[in-house]
Structure 1
Amino acid sequence: MSNNIKKLTIVWSALISCFLGIGCKKDLLNQNPLNQITDATYWQSSDDAVMFATRMYTYMPQDNFVYYEGMSDNGITNDPTTRRFGNSTQDPTISSKEWSYEPMRQAYSFFANVDKVPGMDATLKARLTAEVKFVLAYRYFIMVTLYGDIPFVNSLITDPNAADLPKTSKADITKSVIQWLDEAAANLPVSYTGADQGRATKGAALALKARVYLYSGQFVEAAAAAKAVMDMNIYKLYPDYYAFFQKDGDYSSEDIWSFGYTLSVRQNSLRDILGSQALMNGRNILDPTAELVTDYESKNGYYPYTKDPAYVATDPFNNRDPRLRASILCPGDIFPYPQFPNINQYDPFNNAGDRIGGDLGSRSGFSWAKNVDHYDYVRSGTNNWKAFRYGEVLLNYAEAQNETGGPSADVIAAVDQIRTRAKMPTVAQTFAINGQTVSQSTMRTFIRHERRIELAGEGLRYFDLIRWKIGEQVMQGPIYTVDASAGIAAISTANGHINKYPKTVIETRYFNNPKFYVWPIPQSAIDASKGILTQNPLWK
């Protein structure tokens, strides 16, 4: 392998894709025809195969995955498409975000051509093939999770007429996804070093397998896959929850697979999307909801937090689960951002940039701290997007195992790892302080709540609410701003400033139909077919 290829890391993948004219995009709207094929002169060396496999990672979750928070009860956004999914006014004209067969075409192009490479090392070929299968499995998983039954492309199609395929059931496609992940796990290394960090590992394939099974309601299999990751004994929670989502946590013991960014090649957009305007030069495109903030326990484990004897109405964000302030900027918070030493209080009532209702202001009165690069001051950031992490694996295991056999000691131990890292009381202590008894039902509720808090800001809440079928309960009715009717004591009222803000409706949401649990097939795809591809039944 040449020195140039050794220097090729995942962060280069998007740039390389642009140079080769394949996969260059800001989002996952790429819908290139299935009959486009790779230049036959390309497969001349092992370096070509490495570069092609590396390019596949552009189809994995990146920074824009965070927009799924805006489709859930965790977030509110001014991004037009995301907002319509969030308030359930979407339709087939805007549902193409994840409808793309370009990754499948690329994967099968790799499978069809890799054997042509002269003198290629068999171990390297097996590993690269496993990496491509990992990406292929993810792309089909995300499509069937959102669209349900879809056409199943399982070969390199060069004839446009042959690309007009009928739907295959979600269950059957999921079987292929699991098969690819099993094959990938068998040939992927446990870890990488140096420039190869960021490539798929055995743990990444097993973590995705656990998620696939969990989302499919196959709890025995999900628990087993998650336990396989745990039993590798190479992953553990990063000691500092906030720092894990900074560069500190990149390729750490908790980071199973992440999409990489660097200052010199490609920065992420997370500061732009999530960041406070006044403190971080962000744009407040996506804000946390006030209801999410309310859902955090007190630091002593009381739920709701107002039950805690230490609760003070004028200081409602103090004495709370530490993950609140590690994830969300609340009115009055002091957040000493290095580049803005003179503006360090988050104040959506008075600061021009963040003022509720302002051009770049917060809609809810809250802003994100989690995932926003605290160190490198560029328009965006250079911290990785952590797509699969050990904290999620523990929660996946706990949920699946509880559904299988109830709240066993193993279930409680997995959740307690999460709680201990967060500096929160254990499961037993929390249940006791709230006067609850541990059962399968109460543990289910507790685990679902813990998932919301632990994974907030990571885009996974949307997928949880659609698989739990709770949209009618949590995605209907008005979305409000912060309720600061009692005033926020930490905000000074000097110089004409205010520290009160009335609870105000931002928008109303309408998740009132089962069809919202599945996305409509894009109208553009239906129009391009010859009548074989039909709309999802609930959307007809």
Structure 2
Amino acid sequence: MKNLRYKISTIVIAIAAVLAIAGCKKGLLDQHPLNQITDETYWQSATDATMFATRMYTYMPQDNFVYYEGMSDNGISNDPTTRRFGNSTQDPTISSKEWSYEPMRQAYSFFTNVDKVPDMDPGLKKRLTAEVKFVLAYRYFIMTTLYGDIPLVTNLITDPTKADIPKSPKADIMKAELQWLDEAATDLPLSYTGADQGRATKGAALALKSRIYLYAGDYANAAAAAKSVMDLGIYKLYPSYFDFFQKDGDYSSEDIWSFGYTLSVHQNSLRDILGSQALMNGRNILDPTSELVNDYESKNGFYPYTKDPGYVATDPYNNRDPRLRQTILCPGDIYKYPYFPNINQYDPFNNQGDRIGGDLGSRSGYSWCKNVDRYDYVRSGVNNWKAFHYAEILLNYAEAQNEVGGPTADVIAALDQIRSRAGMPTIAQTFTTNALAINQTNMRTFIRHERRIELAGEGLRYFDVLRWKIGEQVMQGAIYTVDATDGITNISTANGHINKYPKTVIEQRFFNNAKFYVWPIPQLAIDASKGILTQNPLWK
């Protein structure tokens, strides 16, 4: 059966030859003439319009979004660019990751030309237009979140001499994003079936709206937008936290919008990026930090986990929040991967592939299992990248509503849904266990912690660090390996193996300047703009 990913690949192939011969002017917007693919020879049918709109989804978050974990205190990567953002040694020569106006050109090409399609069904035209607005809003959102003020394009630019335009304030661009999303939400359906699964829905538009308001600190509107998603009545948490991020959870009741992968057309790269070498044939490109591992509560809700009466130093991963070992492989864990049945224990001290310091080994002594397809072939994965899902909506609502009115019953109810799915004590039980009063300040701290744990491995922690302005606290100083000074009981010392590893510095991080809360404008874009585009003030 055809699916969204197949359609995307089809449209890419269909226009690739035309794009290859299209002329280009390297300006601040990287303007490319689009007349070769938007003239009367293309816009002949509803299929043409559908294919063009479908291509827009290639600009949405995909598997490589996980690299943002390595820019936060959740992860450490051997990818050079990711690592430099993680240790705050970035500069304008490497900051072009999200700087692209191609999505804007494509969006306005669609808006300009879709009316040329003869006899097109009005309902389909409205829906496709809404889908394009959804992607356009996301692209401006991600760029303004990282770069701040940027140029705002409001029409299709066909004259290369007019491609260089000045910045607009981030607040003005946010207004445009929200207007697009309001318009999109009106015309998008609640759900799709069959080959259309994976397209933007009303819930997806509202979910993005909630994230935009939350990141802007507009808590009243963030809470309202999140509540509008909840009130749709079609979303709920998937029963299993681990399985939701496998193929099982694709297009499930928790999946609001995800980027699709298939075995026959295109697999994801999550095994290579995240996976254990010995157990999964991955490459350990991105590893969890020991600080993230240490932030998980005990199973009984004690925080830190070492306060739990059941804590045993030589078995530190037992009796912990179940999400820990559904997210991260810890030394001594048994993880049965069907294609490598002979190696089941994660052992970064002795296993050749994962050994700390090895060519493909873990840097920290930990590896990921969340998001790594457990059931598909070597070096592939077909589970979707879950870009927006219901657990985030519940967390958005809880955080925003707590800022507006404190820890009301509905704030606690939203959090208890997440805690219940995880198999963790309720908010009331957890606060009692830790002798904490339920007030706005304590709830704010708890929500930030819960958000980190629930969304670990999804790339969102980096953006939370930026918006909460906590980089100096959590991204400064040494990053360490696992501390197995006392040994790990579950790892056998037979045949000359070891079960101990000293706490060792991996790298130093230097988040010591306010400029790291915003990315520098890429130097190539500035150089090409003839003085119109200026560098972010903190980076001058």
**1:369-413 CA distance string (max 9 Å, x none):** 000000011312000000000000000000000000100000000
CA distance in 1 between partners of 2:296 and 2:53 (Å): 42
- The answer to whether the Cα contact below 8 Å between 2:261 and 2:267 also exists between their aligned partners in 1 is yes
Q: How does 1:231-250 map to 2 (within 5 A)?
A: 231-250=231-250
CA contact (8 A) 1:364 1:482 kept: yes
Paired with 1:133 and 1:353, the residues of 2 have a C-alpha distance of: 45
What is the correspondence of 1:497-536 to structure 2 with a 5 Å cutoff? 497-536=497-536
Change (3 A) 1:403 1:354: same
Deviation per CA, 1:451-486: give whole Å up to 9, x if none.
000000000000000000000000000000000000
Residue type of the partner of 2:11? I
Partner of 2:4: 9
Structure 1 residue 311 corresponds to structure 2 residue 311? yes
| d(CA) in 2 for partners of 1:173, 1:14 | 30
Deviation for aligned residue 1:17 = 1.4
Task: Trace 1:354-365 onto structure 2 (pairs within 5 A).
Answer: 354-365=354-365
2:404 aligns to what? 404
User: 1:448 aligns to what?
Assistant: 448
Distance 1:173 1:181 in 2: 13
Secondary structure at the residue paired with 2:76? strand
- Alpha-carbon RMSD across the aligned residues, in angstroms, is 1.3
| Equivalence for 2:104 | 104
Q: Distance in 1 between matches of 2:34 and 2:74?
A: 40
Are the counterparts in 1 of residues 357 and 363 from structure 2 also a CA contact under 8 Å? yes
**Structure 1 partner of 2:130:** 130
Distance 1:70 1:253, change over 3 A: same
> Runs of 4 or more off by more than 3 Å in structure 1?
34-37
Aligned residue in 1 for 2:217? 217
Describe the superposition over 1:37-84 as per-residue Cα deviations: whole angstroms up to 9, x where unpaired. 424111000000000010000000000000000000000000000000
Q: Which amino acid aligns with 2:508?
A: T
Which residue does the alignment assign to 1:33?
31
Aligned to 2:324, what secondary structure does the other structure show?
Answer: helix
User: Aligned partners of 1:314, 1:18: CA distance in 2, in Å?
Assistant: 55
The residue identity in structure 2 corresponding to 1:7 is K
Pairwise CA distance, 1:9: 1.8
- TM-score, normalised by the number of residues in structure 2: 0.97
Aligned amino acid, residue 69 of structure 2? E
Distance 1:7 1:539 in 2: 47
The answer to whether the 8 A contact 1:68-1:459 is kept is yes
Check the 8 A contact 1:298/1:320 in 2, yes or no.
yes
Aligned equivalent of 2:25 = none
User: Could you report, residue by residue, the CA deviation over 1:238-277 in whole angstroms, capped at 9, with x for unpaired residues?
Assistant: 0000000000000000000000000000000000000000
**Alpha-carbon distance in 2 for matches of 1:247, 1:460:** 21
Which residue type is aligned with residue 413 of structure 2? Answer: A
Deviations 1:120-178 (A, max 9, x none): 00000000000000000000000000000000011000111211100000000000000
CA 1:170 to 1:14, structure 2 compared with 1: closer, same or farther past 3 Å? farther
Determine the structure 2 residue equivalent to 1:184: 184
In structure 2, C-alpha distance between the alignment counterparts of 1:180 and 1:306, rounded to whole Å: 48
Contact between 1:23 and 1:58, CA under 8 Å: does it hold in 2? Answer: no
Q: 1:414-438 deviations in whole A, cap 9, x for unaligned?
A: 0000000000000000000000001
Q: Aligned to 1:20, which of 15, 34, 37?
A: 15
Does the 8 A contact of 2:29 with 2:525 survive in 1?
no
Q: Report if the CA contact (8 A) 1:36-1:158 is conserved.
A: yes
Provide the residue aligned with 2:481 in structure 1: 481
**How far is the alpha carbon of 1:8 from its aligned partner?**
4.8
Would the aligned equivalents of 1:10 and 1:54 in 2 still touch at CA under 8 Å?
no
Q: TM-score, normalised by structure 1?
A: 0.97
C-alpha distance in 2, partners of 1:14/1:346? 37
Q: Are 1:59 and 2:65 an aligned pair?
A: no
- Aligned runs of 1:97-496 on 2, under 5 Å? 97-496=97-496
Give the distance between the partners of 1:394 and 1:377, measured in 2 at CA.
Answer: 34
Native 8 Å contact 2:29 2:164 kept in 1: no
Whether contact under 8 Å (1:33, 1:160) holds in the other structure is yes
Q: Is the 8 A contact 2:339 2:378 kept in 1?
A: no
Q: Give 3-state SS (helix, strand or coil) of 2:509's partner.
A: strand
Structure 1 residues 351 and 302: alpha-carbon distance in aligned structure 2, compared to 1, 3 A threshold? same
What SS class does the counterpart of residue 76 from structure 1 fall into? Answer: strand
CA deviation vs aligned residue, 1:218-253 (integer Å, no higher than 9, x gap): 100000000000000100000000000000000000
In the other structure, the counterpart of 1:3 is none
Question: What is the deviation of 1:10?
Answer: 3.6
Contact 2:38 2:113 in 1 (8 A): no
Extract unaligned runs of 5+ from structure 1.
1-5, 25-29
Corresponding residue SS for 2:256: strand
Name the SS of the counterpart of 2:82 in structure 1: helix
Runs of 5+ consecutive residues of structure 2 not aligned to the other structure: 21-27
1:399 aligns to what SS in structure 2? Answer: helix
Q: CA deviation at 1:18?
A: 4.0
> What secondary structure sits across from 1:93 in the alignment?
coil
Give the Cα–Cα distance (whole angstroms) in 2 for the partners of residues 155 and 384 of structure 1: 33
Q: Which amino acid aligns with 2:33?
A: N
Are 1:258 and 1:385, in contact at CA under 8 Å, matched by a contact in 2? yes
Provide the C-alpha distance between the structure 1 equivalents of 2:366 and 2:3, rounded to a whole number of angstroms.
Answer: 39
Q: Name the CA distance, whole Å, in 2 between partners of 1:463 and 1:493.
A: 42
User: Residues 345 and 31 (structure 1 numbering): CA distance in 2 closer, same or farther, change over 3 Å?
Assistant: farther
The DSSP-based 3-state class of the residue aligned with 2:399 is: helix
Helix, strand or coil at the partner of 2:93: helix
* Aligned partners of 1:200 and 1:257 also within 8 Å: yes
Q: Secondary structure at the match of 1:92?
A: coil
* C-alpha displacement of 1:23: 9.0
Change (3 A) 1:194 1:396: same
| Contact 1:295 1:304 (8 Å CA) reproduced | yes
Letter in 2 for 1:36: L
- What is residue 44 of structure 1 aligned with on the other side? 44
Q: Quick check: 2:257–2:386 contact (8 Å CA) kept in 1?
A: yes
The structural deviation recorded for 1:86 is 0.2
1:12 is displaced (CA, Å) by 3.6
| Equivalence for 2:24 | none
| Cα distance change, pair 443–129 in 1 and its aligned pair in 2 (3 A) | same
Q: Residue by residue, what CA displacement relative to the aligned partner does 1:90-148 show, whole Å, maximum 9, x if unpaired?
A: 00000000000000000000000000000000000000000000000000000000000
Question: 1:183-217, CA deviations, whole angstroms, 9 ceiling, x for partnerless residues?
Answer: 00000000000010000000000000000000011
In structure 1, C-alpha distance between the alignment counterparts of 2:422 and 2:205, rounded to whole Å:
27
